[in-house]
């Protein structure tokens, strides 16, 4: 079951990164300004 959980987490990493990274860079840009 742990192996399965790891599988799901690994599969979710790239999509989550795609969904989150513009948001993070947006915050960094706002902080710079």
Cβ 21 to other proteins shortest distance, Å: 9
Would you state the structure tokens that stand for residue 3, as one six-digit string?
């192996």
Cβ 33 to other proteins shortest distance, Å: 11
Closest by CA position to 16, among listed 28, 4, 8, 27: 8
Q: Does 31 bind other proteins (CB under 8 A)?
A: no
Would you state the structure tokens that stand for residue 14, as one six-digit string?
């790239």
Total chain residues near other proteins (CB under 8 A): 20
Quote the CA–CA distance of 32 and 21 in Å, as a whole number: 17
**Residues making contact with other proteins (CB under 8 A):** 1, 4-5, 7-8, 10-16, 18-20, 22-23, 25-26, 29
């Amino acid at each position: 079951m742990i192996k399965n959980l790891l599988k799901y987490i690994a599969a979710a990493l790239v999509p989550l990164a795609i969904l989150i990274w513009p948001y993070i860079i947006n915050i960094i840009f706002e902080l710079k300004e």
